[in-house]
């Protein structure tokens, strides 16, 4: 039954609640996401659903005909409503003519979602409110030539062991005006002119399970065929720049074991990193494209390596050099946006609860040590150890927290995280100690003696420590992130803290009757934040329209891969 078109943006009218962007530094989000990530790893180790999917029905997936095919790729969506819906409304439009295109680009007959369809973690309600409901609002009813939709899981889709992902995408239910046909978390689609699209589920950089290998071997790729390979993350960047090959080894294994001699893989697609990056090796005849601009916070591009050497030296195949051909946002814009992290305390007010609590505990520990040391009856060595033990314990915990934070982006085997953790922890400890010494001096040398001094000191501590000192502590985190990014680590956290909603996009692709593949990288420099309901629109019209028209544009010129 078709849902009535909404007359306003309320949850009752839309059927879902519009969501704000995830606040990644909110302590509740940090704790919950960390716990879910850990549980997902444990669950995958003991009950990997990829092993079980081999018993499911095998479906012959096809798209397009001899006239060609238009299809789209979007990844890292399902975050804040405004960004996700801005992209979804462009994907749903019957035609699109972005700035720089010489002709209108028809809506894709096929939509491939390349991972992380929901944030911060997979759940049925989260999919409905951040993804499915949003896309239904963009294309409420299937047009006569209903487009198909396929989805590859990313790490956030895996946080509940794929349970919600399979319920949403693998039961042949409509996804707004898109039809879903997949039955597994991986799929192969036969495209026109001997092209194929393979989407492999390699989450957690694990070995590819035998049912998945058997599935791709059986679909019928022949010599002379061309494969577009979709993966869950751009493992080629660390493999080709710093030798971190764990994820890329899985891809290389898949290419050797599944792609027959004479077939080629001229294009690899992925999301995961929330930017656009295009690497090309003319010698290898291969393009590597990352496009994770579907709705999640923007990521940096100024730290991308200018070239990659692939495969790693340990692989049996010859190495080739891949040059960085295009990126979005461009390098100067990425550098400028990085400086926005200095607004961190105002962008993440819930984070101030964490820094305020941290400074309160640490300052109390130092004040306790100062008070005990000043007591003439407790001047022995054991008394001094007991007086400063709480400070030492809190300092050790803070140092280890700094190490753990650094390890989000610093190779564990390098040992650098221990030094980075120290650099991160010292300013926090210095702020706590300096504030405690100031209060101690204020109480003893400035304020009048007696109960009045005690109450004034107590009042100043209670009011200013979690507020003023908490804000200063959050600013220390911001400054650390900016300087850390100069060294090439914690860059993801630098941008996650800012939750930049603008600079979004997707890929529109076309296989023409001659077999040439053209890729159109489409971006929005500014998303829409003000929407008007359209209750009198046609069934396939979007429920909400932007107050100001969206202005998509191409990044550079279309990427062309000719048929050999």
pLDDT attached to residue 381: 62
Preceding amide of 120 cis, omega within 30: yes
Rounded Cα gap, residues 251 and 229, in angstroms: 9
3-state secondary structure of 353: helix
Q: Where are the domains of the chain?
A: 11-337+501-561, 349-495
Contact predicate 288/322, CB 8 Å: yes
Rounded Cα gap, residues 425 and 403, in angstroms: 9
| Nearest C-alpha neighbor of 242 from the set 403, 406, 414 | 414
Burial, 534: exposed, middle or buried (Cβ in 10 Å; 0-12, 13-18, 19+)? Answer: middle
Element (H, E) at 524: strand 517-524
Give the single-character DSSP code of 302. Answer: T
pLDDT attached to residue 391: 77
pLDDT in tens, 78-137: 899 999 999 999 999 999 999 998 899 999 999 999 989 999 888 889 999 999 999 999
Rounded Cα gap, residues 128 and 122, in angstroms: 10
Pairing of strands 187-190, 195-199: antiparallel
Whole-model pTM? 0.90
Burial, 308: exposed, middle or buried (Cβ in 10 Å; 0-12, 13-18, 19+)? Answer: buried
Q: How many residues does the chain have?
A: 564
Rounded Cα gap, residues 545 and 185, in angstroms: 33
Residues of the chain with pLDDT under 50: none
Q: What's the CATH number for 11-337+501-561?
A: 3.60.21.10
| Nearest C-alpha neighbor of 143 from the set 440, 533, 480, 538 | 538
Largest CA distance in the chain: 93
pLDDT attached to residue 372: 67
Contacts with 502 (C-beta within 8 Å, 6 or more apart), sequence order:
83, 298, 524, 525, 526, 527
Contact predicate 307/260, CB 8 Å: no
pLDDT in tens, 382-404: 666 666 777 788 788 877 777 77
Q: What angle do CA 463, 466, 469 make, to 5 degrees?
A: 100
């Amino acid at each position: 039954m078709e849902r009535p078109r909404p007359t306003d943006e309320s949850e009752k009218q839309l059927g879902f609640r519009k969501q704000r962007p995830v606040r990644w530094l909110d302590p509740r989000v940090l704790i919950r996401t960390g716990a879910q990530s850990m549980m997902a790893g444990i669950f995958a180790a003991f009950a990997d659903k990829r092993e079980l999917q081999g018993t499911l029905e095998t479906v012959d997936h096809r798209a397009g005909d001899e006239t060609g095919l238009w299809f789209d790729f979007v990844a890292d969506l399902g975050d804040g409503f405004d960004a996700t819906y801005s992209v979804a409304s462009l994907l749903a439009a019957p035609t699109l003519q972005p700035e720089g295109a010489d002709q209108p680009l028809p809506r894709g007959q096929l939509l491939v979602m390349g991972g992380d369809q929901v944030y911060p973690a997979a759940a049925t309600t989260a999919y409905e409110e951040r993804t499915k409901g949003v896309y239904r609002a963009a294309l409420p009813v299937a047009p006569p030539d209903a487009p198909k939709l396929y989805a590859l899981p990313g790490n956030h889709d895996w946080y509940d062991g794929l349970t919600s992902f399979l319920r949403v995408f693998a039961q042949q239910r409509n996804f707004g005006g898109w039809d879903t046909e997949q039955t597994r978390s991986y799929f192969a689609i036969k495209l026109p002119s001997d092209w194929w699209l393979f989407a492999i589920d390699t989450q957690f950089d694990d070995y590819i399970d035998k049912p998945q290998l058997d599935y791709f071997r059986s679909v019928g790729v022949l010599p002379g065929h061309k494969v577009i390979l979709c993966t869950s993350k751009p493992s080629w960047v660390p493999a080709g720049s710093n030798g971190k090959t764990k994820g890329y080894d899985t891809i290389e294994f898949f290419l050797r074991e599944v792609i027959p001699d004479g077939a080629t893989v001229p294009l690899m697609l992925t999301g995961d990193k929330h930017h656009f990056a295009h690497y090309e090796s003319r010698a290898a005849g291969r393009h590597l494209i990352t496009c994770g601009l579907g709705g999640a916070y923007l990521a940096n591009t100024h730290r991308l390596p200018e070239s990659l050497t692939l495969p790693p030296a340990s692989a049996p195949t010859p190495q080739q050099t891949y040059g960085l051909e295009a990126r979005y946002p461009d390098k100067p814009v990425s550098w400028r946006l990085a400086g926005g992290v200095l607004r961190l305390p105002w962008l993440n007010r819930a984070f101030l609860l964490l820094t305020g609590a941290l400074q309160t505990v640490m300052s109390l520990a130092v004040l306790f040590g100062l008070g005990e040391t000043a007591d003439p009856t407790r001047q022995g060595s054991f008394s001094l150890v007991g007086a400063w033990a709480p400070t030492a314990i809190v300092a050790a915990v803070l140092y280890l927290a700094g190490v753990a934070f650094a390890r989000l982006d610093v190779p564990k085997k390098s040992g650098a995280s221990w030094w980075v953790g120290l650099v991160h922890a010292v300013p926090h400890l210095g702020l706590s100690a300096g504030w405690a010494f100031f209060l101690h001096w204020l109480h003893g040398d400035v304020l009048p003696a007696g109960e009045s001094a005690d109450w004034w000191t107590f009042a100043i501590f209670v009011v200013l420590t979690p507020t003023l000192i908490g804000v200063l502590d959050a600013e220390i985190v911001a400054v650390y992130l900016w300087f850390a990014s100069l060294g090439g680590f914690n860059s993801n956290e630098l941008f996650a803290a800012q939750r930049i909603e603008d600079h979004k996009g997707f890929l529109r692709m076309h296989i023409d009757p001659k077999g040439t593949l053209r890729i159109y990288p489409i971006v929005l420099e500014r998303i829409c934040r003000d929407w008007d309901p359209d209750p009198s629109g046609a069934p396939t019209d979007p429920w909400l329209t932007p107050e100001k028209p969206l202005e998509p544009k191409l990044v550079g010129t279309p990427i062309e891969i000719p048929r050999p």
